[in-house]
Structure 1
Amino acid sequence: MGIIVQKFGGTSVADADKILAAARKAIRTQQQGHQVVMVVSAMGKNTDVLVDLAGQITSNPPAREMDMLLSTGEQVSVALMAMAITELGSKAVSLTGGQIGIKTDNSHTKARIQSISTERMRKHLDDGHIVIAAGFQGIDDDFNITTLGRGGSDTTAVALAAVLQADACEIYTDVDGVFTTDPRIVAEARKMDRVSHDEILELASMGAGVMHSRSIEFGKKFGVPIHVCNSASFSDEPGTVIGLHSESQDRPVSGVALTKNEAWISLADVPDQPGTMDTLFSKLGSVNVAVDMIVQNVGEGGKAEISFTVLESDLPTTLKAVNIVAKDLGGVEVTHEANVSKVSIVGLGMATQTGVADRMFRALADEAINILAITTSQIKISALVPRDQAMKALRAVHGEFELEKQPGDRAAFGNKSTVTLQPSPVDVVDRLQRMEDLTIDDIQLDETQGRVTVSQVPDKPGIAAEIFEAVAAEEIMVDMIVQGTGRDGLANVSFTVPMEAVSTATEIVRSVAAQMECGPVTSDPKIAILSVFGIGIRTHTGVGVRMFQALSRADINVEIVSSSEMRVNVVVDADKGPAGLQALQAAFADVIG
């Protein structure tokens, strides 16, 4: 049989009894004919203890020395695990990240993996050892110890599974698997048997409760099936498989996520001209701020509004950078709001089904929850809401899509041993060079759609629901939806539909706008949508910089922006579409997979 990688988190190795239980699990797996690589985290709260010790010494510890300190937690765990396996009568060898040959860049405390050597691991495996690898760590070109940041042990495990072409990567943790939403918030949340890499990446905030998004990025990039299992019993229950397929083929929504601690920043009266987005995102990229939701709506009178969210912890750094940009652009008003949260629905099925957005918006409206902003991707719809209404919003949307119920046509679900690594379409060695570098899957130009915009929309619950219920009633497929926070209690809502439906959609929205006393309603029968798809788009802060720089140099103005974890969409003038595609292809030529 093949190789199985098993990762045990801090709670799974918190004391001697748990270490012995994990050792027995690995030995049983080996006795079934597999070669086994274990990846272990630091014991229990050991990392927190080390961080606290550093804080007692200095309020500003050097990043290099923090890596030296924190890496010791995993080294304790691997040594004890090797002792446990030896005591139980099997052979084991413990290895640090450096001993394995996990090479990273030199970004201390948040390093990215560049390559992994397999020679030493394979020799030990062939000699009958269980290899016990220290998670969370590697070395840079100067042999400095580096750590991988949050979720680093998960990242190590999936990366090792990729380079070893393992049959599977099993993640043992203190939960049963991946749920339709956070079960601590919604009691009705249901464990999913299966979820796709794409869905879990778009549900990154939900996935972070079980696994960090960087590890899922590895899984998707290298085709690694990931099994999330409960370590409490180490039973043979499959937990949740994160892989190629969704749980249901026709269910529009698979899960609902909440990102609680978001902050919203808006720039009003921005020049609506080529280069503006480049100026802003180049500055944000220079301070290494990861932007989440990005919203730019159709400009009026030569001015536009650009809004985006960041984690609340990044707000001070972001505001400092944005205020510099606002001063350089001249006459730009900057506002911000910290007490907001993002509620997102995700599902592969929504890419082909109408009437999904309106159901979400109606569920929120029925609970009197105001939507502050909207962005969409092909398989995700996100709404920004006041933080004090976030929990209610999550429960409302989860209930609307009846996610507590089993899907009607669940995809075939096999025994864990039957799920194998998918063969790579290109040479594995080439793919594993600089493993965590940005990979762009595709850059597309869509010239089949038009735009509808309703202006001066009252910023109150129910408006979005009314608009999209009316559109859905005509079975019109909506792609992008963009709503910004607006000013003076008024906002603009734009959306795209197939060209042949623009006229009908415009008339429908005009009727709704008249009833709601908002408008005017404008439309463009033909637009160009440029989309960049990729793994790690949000975690690699330079994506927006490259994209907007390329369009600026081509003298192409960005009219609308919408983003998600794996996709950035921009709307440009229809005549500029081919030139925009060419510019983006050139800009990302070195990272297109």
Structure 2
Amino acid sequence: MSLIVQKFGGTSVADAEKIRTAARRAIRAQQAGNQVVMVVSAMGKNTDLLVDLAAQVCQGGGDAPAREMDMLLSTGEQVSVALMAMAVHDLGAKAVSLTGGQIGIHTDSSHTKARIRSISTERVRKLLDAGNIVIACGFQGIDDDWNITTLGRGGSDTSAVALAAVLGASQCEIYTDVDGVFTTDPRLVAEARKMDRVSHDEMLELASLGAGVMHSRSIEFGKKFCVPIHVKNSAVFTDEPGTVISTESECADRPVSGAALTKDEARVTVRHIPDQPGTSQAIFSRLAAKNVTVDMIVQNLGAGGTADISFTVPESDLKRAMEALREATAELGGGDVSYDEDVAKISIVGLGMATQSGVADRMFRSLAEMGINIIAITTSDIKVSVLVERARMTDALRAVHREFELDKPPHERATFGEPTTPGKQADAVDVVAKLQHMEDLTIHGVALDTEQARVSISNVTDVPGIAAEVFEAVASQGVLVDMIVQSVGEDGRTNLSFTVPQNDLAKAGKIIQELIDRVGGEMTTCDKIAILTVTGVGIRSHTGVGTRMFQALYDAGINVDMISTSEVRVNVVVDGPQGETGLAALKQVFADVIER
């Protein structure tokens, strides 16, 4: 008998009728021959009301104790599961409601943002085998001292996918108030199209970039344990397909699958810091110590013995980030820190980028034609992100969505359903071992690429269209660009670097020299670089990854020339002769978390 996990968000259980509708869905799935586990969120705005109550009680100016906030907020889900169990009984089926602790979800003790350590399944399986629909509180668990903990933002999604993983579910259905995952935010772009299928890797990038349908931690679980996730609209009581998030993309030969906007972030830049080993480590260790989540990191080639590093942080973390950077620059003996809250990040994501040239230049040209200047650029193999002025963010999102014709479906439509379950795809002992530390950082691998060369352009005029001109010129020669970094401009000038296959360096250098002869600037090239890459699940949500990486390189005496990041990888460029030493250092520092 197959098992299905169904998760219902707050809008899907906002009132009695919606609760009964959700109960009917679960009963219908059970009558079709499936065992059913429901994961239920708090009703509607219930969590917000509880937070407001806590603020009213705590009038002394201090924050409520985190442990007591968990005690309070966990009650929202307990109301929902009890009402859902009543509805199932009233409709003629059997159900049992369970809190996170009763299920056996064990977490660490980080109140309000706990991480799952393990899930016991014995009680749930007994109840399922007895013919019950098991209704589980999302968002919560217990620590080793039996304290109630909550999992933070997106916690119910995380609970659902984690349960699907540990129970070997054939599918995890996420019911929400939208039809599925769209190519971009349909509230901002009327032409946004629902995707039939999106890969875990693509969705990880889209989730972290503000796609909003699911939280990135739940996608991390899906990827780690091969859980197919089906996002559906709870308001449509039919079998209308939503979007399947699995190992496959909607269309492998299409370069871009979706576009995303992130607007609640601030850009921070540290200029004129020593260009020497240990600089990155000093900065990012301070940020990690204050638990600041760093997203878009941009470090370009240094000049004159100094370097600049820019990155984005959530606006809510900006104050702590500035405190950390003041400490870091004091330790380094110099550096100027600035920030800008009037920025937004526009990104395109797609598995096809890894094998198709000319993708980045199309994005840059679409922005140039709208007169939108690019403040900074960073890339991974399946993502290109740019910073733009927040006032132009909607125009920018619409421009890139239109450029890649994301409103049009691919030629071959995706099919639904998965032939195998997570438990069948991997050795059972291995799965159980992984589940003991479900949310621990997992590094898939540390890699060294010595087949790339670098092209750097400095002191080029910082105007709309310059990036488009550069990469249109490179694409015209059929050269596949890998890593792109554009620094935040200063005094109307900017610096831009990118990597290309060594065999294509001469072609790229020739065309770029012709370009800067027209527009100004200076070019340097290097055919002796090494790109070190750390790839894994949870890289962004585990704030210490960058710290460990940069500390290892510092200890090995290796200077970092360039940095670019994404949700699932960190890339750094170092001097070519130091590549093997850097690889050994990273393998050693991540030895405890590298997947075997």
TM class by shorter-chain length? Answer: over 0.9
Q: Helix, strand or coil: the match of 2:127? A: helix
* Residue type of the alignment partner of 1:319: M
Shift in CA distance, 208/354, structure 1 to aligned 2, threshold 3 Å: closer
Who is 2:29 aligned against? 29
Q: Helix, strand or coil: the match of 1:452? A: strand
CA offset at residue 207 of structure 1? 6.0
Q: What stretches of structure 1 of length at least 5 have no aligned partner?
A: none
CA offset at residue 139 of structure 1? 0.4
**Percentage of pairs with the same residue:** 67
* Residue type of the alignment partner of 2:401: H
Task: Report the Cα distance in structure 2 between the residues aligned to 1:43 and 1:325, rounded to whole angstroms.
Answer: 44
Is 1:194–1:241's contact at 8 Å kept on the other side of the alignment? yes
With 323-332 and 111-120 compared, the bigger mean Cα shift is at 323-332
Who is 1:566 aligned against? 568
CA offset at residue 419 of structure 1? 6.4
Q: What is the 5 A alignment of 1:338-357?
A: 338-357=341-360
Equivalent residue in structure 1 for 2:463, among 418, 437, 460: 460
Task: Report the Cα distance in structure 1 between the residues aligned to 2:454 and 2:211, rounded to whole angstroms.
Answer: 35
Who is 2:176 aligned against? 173
Is 1:205–1:257's contact at 8 Å kept on the other side of the alignment? no
CA offset at residue 554 of structure 1? 0.5
CA RMSD of superposed structures (Å): 1.1
Q: What is the 5 A alignment of 1:360-509?
A: 360-410=363-413, 412-414=414-416, 416=417, 418=419, 420-421=421-422, 423-425=425-427, 427-509=430-512
Task: Report the Cα distance in structure 2 between the residues aligned to 1:195 and 1:466, rounded to whole angstroms.
Answer: 31
Is 1:369–1:461's contact at 8 Å kept on the other side of the alignment? yes
Task: Report the Cα distance in structure 2 between the residues aligned to 1:125 and 1:584, rounded to whole angstroms.
Answer: 45
CA offset at residue 335 of structure 1? 1.3
Is 1:50–1:70's contact at 8 Å kept on the other side of the alignment? yes
Cα deviation digits, residues 187-207 of structure 1 (max 9, x gap): 000000000000000112456
Q: What is the 5 A alignment of 1:211-290?
A: 211-290=214-293
CA offset at residue 486 of structure 1? 2.6
Task: Report the Cα distance in structure 2 between the residues aligned to 1:513 and 1:105, rounded to whole angstroms.
Answer: 55
Q: Helix, strand or coil: the match of 1:479? A: coil
Task: Report the Cα distance in structure 2 between the residues aligned to 1:384 and 1:356, rounded to whole angstroms.
Answer: 17
Who is 2:555 aligned against? 553
Q: What is the 5 A alignment of 1:510-549?
A: 510-517=513-520, 519-549=521-551
Is 1:136–1:153's contact at 8 Å kept on the other side of the alignment? yes
CA offset at residue 341 of structure 1? 0.5
* Residue type of the alignment partner of 2:557: D
Is 2:208–2:567's contact at 8 Å kept on the other side of the alignment? no
Who is 2:587 aligned against? 585
Is 2:528–2:577's contact at 8 Å kept on the other side of the alignment? no
* Residue type of the alignment partner of 2:261: L
Task: Report the Cα distance in structure 2 between the residues aligned to 1:135 and 1:424, rounded to whole angstroms.
Answer: 26
Task: Report the Cα distance in structure 1 between the residues aligned to 2:142 and 2:507, rounded to whole angstroms.
Answer: 60
CA offset at residue 324 of structure 1? 1.2
Who is 2:311 aligned against? 308
* Residue type of the alignment partner of 1:498: P
Cα deviation digits, residues 134-193 of structure 1 (max 9, x gap): 000000111100000001000000000000000000000000000000000000000000
Q: Helix, strand or coil: the match of 1:203? A: helix
Q: What is the 5 A alignment of 1:81-100?
A: 81-100=84-103
Task: Report the Cα distance in structure 2 between the residues aligned to 1:328 and 1:448, rounded to whole angstroms.
Answer: 36
Task: Report the Cα distance in structure 2 between the residues aligned to 1:554 and 1:38, rounded to whole angstroms.
Answer: 50
Who is 1:63 aligned against? 66
Task: Report the Cα distance in structure 2 between the residues aligned to 1:541 and 1:206, rounded to whole angstroms.
Answer: 17
CA offset at residue 458 of structure 1? 1.3
Who is 1:53 aligned against? 53
Who is 2:115 aligned against? 112
Who is 1:9 aligned against? 9
* Residue type of the alignment partner of 1:573: D
Is 1:92–1:131's contact at 8 Å kept on the other side of the alignment? yes
Is 1:258–1:390's contact at 8 Å kept on the other side of the alignment? yes
Equivalent residue in structure 1 for 2:205, among 202, 205, 212: 202
CA offset at residue 312 of structure 1? 1.3
Q: Helix, strand or coil: the match of 1:182? A: coil
* Residue type of the alignment partner of 1:317: R
CA offset at residue 417 of structure 1? 6.8
Q: Helix, strand or coil: the match of 2:425? A: coil
Shift in CA distance, 417/488, structure 1 to aligned 2, threshold 3 Å: closer
Task: Report the Cα distance in structure 2 between the residues aligned to 1:340 and 1:444, rounded to whole angstroms.
Answer: 33
Shift in CA distance, 71/22, structure 1 to aligned 2, threshold 3 Å: same
Is 1:199–1:347's contact at 8 Å kept on the other side of the alignment? yes
CA offset at residue 68 of structure 1? 0.1
1:187 partnered with 2:190: yes
Is 2:211–2:261's contact at 8 Å kept on the other side of the alignment? no
Who is 1:141 aligned against? 144
Equivalent residue in structure 2 for 1:130, among 130, 133, 143: 133
Cα deviation digits, residues 406-430 of structure 1 (max 9, x gap): 11234x413x475644612562111
* Residue type of the alignment partner of 2:530: A
Q: What is the 5 A alignment of 1:314-353?
A: 314-353=317-356
Cα deviation digits, residues 116-139 of structure 1 (max 9, x gap): 000000000000000000000000
Q: Helix, strand or coil: the match of 2:264? A: strand
Q: Helix, strand or coil: the match of 2:497? A: strand
* Residue type of the alignment partner of 1:30: Q
With 481-490 and 162-171 compared, the bigger mean Cα shift is at 481-490
Is 1:207–1:213's contact at 8 Å kept on the other side of the alignment? no
**Normalized against structure 1, the TM-score is what?**
0.98
Is 1:343–1:385's contact at 8 Å kept on the other side of the alignment? yes
CA offset at residue 330 of structure 1? 1.8
Task: Report the Cα distance in structure 2 between the residues aligned to 1:205 and 1:400, rounded to whole angstroms.
Answer: 22
Structure 1: 4+ residue segments shifted above 6 A? none
Who is 1:20 aligned against? 20
CA offset at residue 329 of structure 1? 1.2
Who is 2:44 aligned against? 44
* Residue type of the alignment partner of 1:26: A
Task: Report the Cα distance in structure 2 between the residues aligned to 1:207 and 1:512, rounded to whole angstroms.
Answer: 36
Cα deviation digits, residues 195-240 of structure 1 (max 9, x gap): 0000000112456511101000000000000000000023111200
Is 1:355–1:469's contact at 8 Å kept on the other side of the alignment? yes
* Residue type of the alignment partner of 2:560: V
Task: Report the Cα distance in structure 2 between the residues aligned to 1:248 and 1:20, rounded to whole angstroms.
Answer: 37
* Residue type of the alignment partner of 2:51: V
Cα deviation digits, residues 16-56 of structure 1 (max 9, x gap): 11111111110010011100000000011111111111111
Is 1:261–1:339's contact at 8 Å kept on the other side of the alignment? no
Q: Helix, strand or coil: the match of 2:342? A: strand
Task: Report the Cα distance in structure 2 between the residues aligned to 1:343 and 1:403, rounded to whole angstroms.
Answer: 15
